[in-house]
Amino acid sequence: MAAASTEPPRLKQLLERDPYLEPFRTDFQRRYSLFYNHLKNIEESEGGLDKFTKSYKTFGVNQLADGGIYCKEWAPGAEAVFLAGDFNGWNPSSHPYKKLEYGKWELFMPPEDGQSPVPHGSKLKVVIRAQNGALLYRISPWARYVVRDEDKVNYDWVHWNPPQSYIHKNPSPKRLKSLRIYESHVGIASPEGKVASYKNFTYNVLPRIKDLGYNCVQLMAIMEHAYYASFGYQVTSFFAASSRYGTPDDLKEMIDVAHSMGITVLLDVVHSHASKNSEDGLNQFDGTDSCFFHSGYRGNHQLWDSRLFDYANWEVLRFLLSNLRMWIEDYRFDGFRFDGVTSMLYHHHGIGTGFSGDYNEYFGLHVDEDALCYLMLANHMINTLHPECITIAEDVSGMPALCRPVAEGGGGFDYRLAMAIPDKWIQIIKELKDEDWNMGNIVHTLTNRRCEEKYIAYAESHDQALVGDKTLAFRLMDAEMYTNMSVLMPLTPVIDRGIQLHKMIRLITHALGGESYLNFMGNEFGHPEWLDFPRIGNNESYHYARRQFNLTEDDLLRYKFLNAFDRDMNKLEERFGWLASPQAYVSEKHESNKVIAFERAGLIFIFNFHPYQSYVDYRVGIETPGKYKILLDSDAGEYGGHQRLDHNTEYFSEQYPHNYRPNSIMVYIPSRVALVLHNVDIPK
């Protein structure tokens, strides 16, 4: 069907909000037309988006109510398709699929004495007769459970149909106004050098997350990946929850328990590329180099050494959209963080390309509009069928309108990651003396975001925790973390500086940088070691593939101070909701004093980044008159500070304009200290 020219219903609002987009009106019209015509074709050919995205219930191997088995695959390059496994003694030809239109194949197996012909827990393979006559033993792209025996290299497909599956008991939380995200990896969520389990996360980590004041968990590396050290980014089985941590029911229980605590659970979804594995992955499933992927050069990511999806293909859309639907409806995930969105959006995949912010970089032939259309369809489907779900884009390019509704011609995401912020902190710490920190540059980086697109601010994520990089704590304190973090040791200048700046960087990022906040597990207390998965290069060691949560529980170690500050910072946001409030008003960014002051959610935030200069009777401009008191003080003793402030002090406003504010207060602000004040005349 030829694409009709269709304008997004609310494009006018988008262009009024950002007039610089007006020259690209036709690009928005073309993108929306592609989306609209896909949607129309799905309605006409598949019976609607709801039915189309439930294909995970018919494709693969599915149990019928009467005990029979229905199997369906898409293998356009196959000459014949069979099902083999434990159930038929691995006979490669006894159970042939029937060929259907458009490269699809189906097989129906009736029940045997009222029982399933394929028992729960038995191994299976789809057998593909390729065009050259070779028999290829493949795992179904729709397989729901794959496992690997310790003595094997490849994963095996196991039919998952337990007599009693886990039943969710708790409703999903309502959509949160303020997202405080704890980015997590189940396998490393233990102090022990091993692959930790879903059960461990459920009973040992979720309570910690709740106590720290995070209300959202973002789970990485859940979609099955054969190579553990890929951090879950080389997916082999898109519909299978990783078996290295436990069973599908263990994951369902983990999500259910999180919901009982009021914690939203997001899945880190990798639809930007796929593993090159063919024995236990999607690659060459039907014996060709295409099928789910572009053929030839276009189907390979030169840096990631992985396969790239053909987003224009009807069956690829079915596969990926159904994949999202399955994770929401079977496992009860509350949304997704889409990985590698920049790679999807552009034919150059962001390789060797810098983004200056020039709008011409986001429009034109270098944009992969088929991939963008897929993302629009995905967000439209989620928003229509599960409006409580949240979607986040990991896009370094800054594509305009990516986080505006599809009806405006946007990508439909709810949030995007503020990826410039962690890079800025690394650059500052790495390149500048403390005396040379530029307050205006810090504020600009934290506030430079697109109007009415929500950003997730973070000082560091898993990217900065990986071996080859350094966490902020390690950049600040380096080797002294191994020798001088005991309270029994004198507080050295390096440790003192590191602890104070670690707290300040996190609070200013949290309060000024976005409409949501993210932290990678362990970084909240300055985890002393980087993250490195077992691999040949480290003799398959698990020493760095763990999180030493026990360090926060040792009263003799200073990690407890950072942990306590992170908890109280989150609890304060929960109380006042600054992430859901309008962007802050920055009244001061004083270069020589190294002071930043701003107001948000009725609170006053004051940061003195000066390495040694404290200020008595420092005037700070404010909007609302009244009596103010300290709510959070990074210099408090429980946070490893020097206790230079009296928390009983009351600060009375004066009708003395300062820094374009009608009122002001005078405060004592010691060096390397962050303060949060509130107006006690306004109850909260």
Q: Which residues are catalytic?
A: 339, 394
CA distance 395 to 510: 20
Query: What is the residue-wise DSSP string for 303-327?
Result: TTTEE-B-TT-HHHHHHHHHHHHHH
List the one residue out of 102, 58, 52, 77 whose CA is nearest residue 318: 52
Instruction: Give me 414's structure tokens.
Output: 């709810």
CA distance 505 to 595: 13
List the one residue out of 464, 371, 440, 367 whose CA is nearest residue 38: 371
Give the helix ranges, DSSP H, for 146-301: 198-200, 206-211, 248-260
- Amino acid sitting at position 357: G
For 667: left if phi > 0, alpha if psi spans -120 to 50, otherwise beta; the answer is: beta
List the one residue out of 518, 658, 681 whose CA is nearest residue 597: 658
User: How many other β-carbons are positioned within 10 Å of the β-carbon of residue 114?
Assistant: 7
Burial letters 19-28, b for 16+ CB under 10 A, else e: eebeebbebb
Query: What is the residue-wise DSSP string for 127-144?
Result: EEE-TTS-EEEE--TT-S
- Dihedral sign of CA atoms 56, 165, 254, 243 in order: negative
Q: Which helix (H) or strand (E) holds 492?
A: none
Phi (first) and psi of residue 675, to 5 degrees: -125, 145
What is the three-class DSSP state of 219?
A: strand
Question: Do the beta carbons of residue 161 and residue 117 sit within 8 Å?
Answer: no
Pairing of strands 237-241, 264-269: unpaired
Name residues whose C-beta falls within 8 Å of residue 113's C-beta, 6 or more positions apart in sequence. none
Rg of the chain over CA atoms, in angstroms?
A: 27
Question: Do the beta carbons of residue 456 and residue 417 sit within 8 Å?
Answer: yes
- Amino acid sitting at position 29: Q
List the one residue out of 68, 56, 267 whose CA is nearest residue 144: 56
Question: Do the beta carbons of residue 107 and residue 71 sit within 8 Å?
Answer: yes
Q: Which helix (H) or strand (E) holds 40?
A: helix 25-46
Pairing of strands 454-457, 516-520: parallel
Q: Which helix (H) or strand (E) holds 195?
A: none
Task: Give me the residues paired with residue 73 across strands.
Answer: 105
CA distance 323 to 393: 17
Strands, E assignment, 110-211: 123-129, 135-138, 146-147, 156-158, 179-185
CA distance 464 to 531: 9
Instruction: Give me 172's structure tokens.
Output: 């999903």
CA distance 456 to 391: 11
Question: Do the beta carbons of residue 650 and residue 626 sit within 8 Å?
Answer: no
